[in-house]
């Protein structure tokens, strides 16, 4: 019913409304002849109620689908909301670090990212007022960076005077180091303390960098006091950020902490369709289904696979069939295997089990726990995929396969002798 109402209402609403605001709502059920609609949070609910509800209800009545719509969020009905204070005046400056392609329109909403999307939208609509800071965490390639840019782009589209700065925590660190070297810390401070929305991506890289954390702490406090919006992303939740000062971690939790999960099958399908549509390439449903099934965990890989298929088809002048797709992607999805397990999906499970990022696991750190995670991941790749030892070594950035061989022996031995390791491996097995 909701789909039909949306379709009917689309021509009557401002252009991007349906996409941006309404797709984050989900229909829950009919109660008598009223549709109960979950708006996700109070900001979306308020916007929908104020701007679109009348249109939606009239379409619904015209279609004979029912008499009206009841909005809820967090399972509470939408009552009288407090009105927001008027936006503060901003000084003009151009955007900084934003990628225009990453906007809300091109972001596909599904169960795995619904809350993160709704929260981002709320923050973009009312920077500094909705949730401050907004902390988005989740595995690689699941859309954190996309959402951050979308927030910046949306806020600037709404008010051209909004000063937005997007940067990675690595860039923040590097700039700070340069500033210290050149005795320009005052300028550095001014730059980041005079923005309306500060978006810092991959905050986990602040770990272990004390002077950067110190500077970040003061920047954070200044912005927060001034009700300027701060948005942060990370590959793990605040509590699991080791090597970051407690006073910083507790601030991360002041606003809203929300995560992005791996997309479910339907969402993967919707994303692929959207991307194919953006490229204006017809890709039929079989192929989309095949990709969605074989690349389960990571949207970046999903997109990469689609691009590869399109490029290969172009290049070889062959039609996009399942057989061809299988051939073109054989190093991504294994040799014709239709099982859902890939290096990436294994990495995701192992990294969540151990609480290290995939980068850490593939990296060079040698602390006992990281090394164990790495060896377990290699063992999983060997037992759950058909990758050769050489391929696994390559996936982990190792020069030769003896490292992998060593890891396999080690884990096999530990499984016999160490109950904790056995338990970990069993847990991972279950999740896979
Ligand atoms: P992360 O920062 O979490 O590692 P990104 O934001 O860089 O991930 O996303 C990886 C790629 O996947 C990007 O090209 C992005 O546009 C795309 N992507 C991620 N989530 C979605 C989504 N929900 N809808 C459309 N594209 C998405
Ligand atoms: Mg990112």
**Could you tell me if 202 and 233 are in contact, meaning their C-beta atoms sit under 8 angstroms apart?**
yes
**Could you tell me if 216 and 206 are in contact, meaning their C-beta atoms sit under 8 angstroms apart?**
yes
Scanning the structure block, which residue is given the tokens 């991972």? 428
Q: 143 labelled as ligand-binding?
A: yes
Å from CA of 133 to ligand 1 middle:
21
Q: Among 146, 168, 348, name the best residue to mutate to test ligand 1's pocket (greatest count of ligand atoms within 8 A of Cβ).
A: 146
The CA-atom distances, in angstroms, between 344 and each of 96, 139, 371, 395 are: 32, 10, 18, 10
Handedness of CA 409, 412, 418, 422 (dihedral sign): positive
Ligand 1, atom 4, lies closest to the CA of 141
Q: Among 103, 143, 234, 351, name the best residue to mutate to test ligand 1's pocket (greatest count of ligand atoms within 8 A of Cβ).
A: 143
Residue 24: burial class (beta carbons within 10 Å; 0-12, 13-18, 19+): buried
Q: 336 labelled as ligand-binding?
A: no
**Could you tell me if 290 and 325 are in contact, meaning their C-beta atoms sit under 8 angstroms apart?**
yes
Phi/psi at 337 (5° precision): -65, 135
Which atom of ligand 1 sits closest to the CA of residue 302? Answer: 12
Q: 141 labelled as ligand-binding?
A: yes
Question: Per the omega criterion (within 30 degrees of 0), is the bond before 311 cis?
Answer: no
* H or E element, residue 327: helix 322-328
Enter the pTM of the model.
0.64
Q: 225 labelled as ligand-binding?
A: no
Which residues of the chain are modeled with pLDDT < 50?
79-95, 335-338
Residues with C-beta less than 6 Å from any ligand 1 atom:
102, 106-108, 113, 138, 140-146, 271, 299-300, 303
Within 8 A by CB and 6+ apart from 80, the residues are none
Residue 15: burial class (beta carbons within 10 Å; 0-12, 13-18, 19+): exposed
Structure tokens at 175: 């700039």
Which atom of ligand 1 sits closest to the CA of residue 142? Answer: 3
pLDDT at position 339 is 52
Structure tokens at 156: 């600037």
**Could you tell me if 232 and 132 are in contact, meaning their C-beta atoms sit under 8 angstroms apart?**
no
pLDDT at position 149 is 95
What is the C-alpha to C-alpha distance for residues 7 and 9, in angstroms, rounded to an integer? 5
Ligand 1, atom 14, lies closest to the CA of 300
Residue (of 422, 418, 375) closest to 396 by Cα position = 375
pLDDT at position 77 is 56
Å from CA of 145 to ligand 2 middle:
4
Helices (H), 165-264: 169-181, 185-193, 210-225, 246-252
Å from CA of 102 to ligand 1 middle:
8
């Amino acid at each position: 019913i909701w789909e039909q109402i949306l379709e009917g209402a689309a021509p009557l609403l401002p252009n991007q409304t349906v996409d941006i605001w309404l797709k984050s709502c989900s229909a829950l059920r009919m109660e008598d002849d009223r549709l109960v609609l979950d708006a996700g949070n109070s900001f979306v609910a308020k916007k929908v109620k104020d701007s679109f509800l009348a249109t939606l209800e009239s379409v619904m009545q015209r279609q004979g689908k029912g008499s009206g719509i009841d909005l809820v969020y967090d399972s509470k009905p939408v009552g009288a909301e407090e009105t927001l204070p008027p936006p503060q005046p901003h000084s003009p400056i151009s955007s900084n670090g934003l990628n225009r392609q990453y906007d809300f329109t091109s972001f596909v909403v599904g169960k795995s990212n619904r809350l993160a999307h709704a929260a981002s939208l709320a923050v973009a609509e009312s920077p500094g007022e909705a949730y401050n800071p907004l902390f988005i965490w989740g595995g690689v390639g699941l859309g954190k960076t996309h959402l951050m840019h979308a927030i910046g782009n949306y806020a600037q589209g709404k008010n051209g005077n909004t000063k937005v700065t997007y940067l990675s925590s690595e860039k923040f660190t590097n700039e700070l180091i340069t500033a210290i070297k050149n005795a320009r810390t005052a300028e550095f401070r001014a730059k980041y303390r005079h923005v309306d929305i500060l978006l810092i991506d991959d905050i986990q890289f602040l770990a272990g960098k004390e002077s950067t954390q110190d500077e970040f702490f003061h920047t954070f406090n200044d912005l927060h006091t001034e009700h300027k919006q701060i948005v942060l992303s990370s590959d793990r939740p605040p509590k699991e950020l080791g090597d970051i000062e407690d006073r910083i971690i507790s601030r991360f939790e002041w606003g809203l902490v929300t995560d992005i999960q791996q997309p479910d099958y339907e969402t993967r399908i919707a994303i692929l369709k959207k991307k194919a549509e953006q490229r204006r390439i017809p890709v039929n449903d079989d192929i989309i289904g095949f990709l969605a099934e074989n690349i389960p965990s990571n949207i970046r890989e999903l997109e990469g696979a689609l691009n590869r298929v399109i490029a290969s088809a172009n290049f070889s002048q062959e039609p996009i069939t399942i057989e061809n797709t299988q051939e073109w992607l054989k190093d991504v999805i294994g040799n014709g295997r239709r099982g859902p397990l890939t290096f990436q999906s294994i990495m995701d499970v192992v990294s969540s089990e151990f609480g290290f990022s995939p980068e850490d696991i593939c990296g060079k750190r040698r602390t006992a726990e990281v090394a164990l995670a790495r060896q377990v991941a290699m063992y999983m790749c060997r037992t759950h995929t058909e990758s050769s030892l050489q391929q696994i070594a390559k996936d982990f950035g190792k020069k030769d396969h003896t490292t992998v061989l060593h890891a396999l022996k080690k884990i096999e031995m530990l499984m016999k002798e160490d109950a904790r390791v056995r338990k970990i491996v069993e847990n991972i097995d279950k999740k896979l």
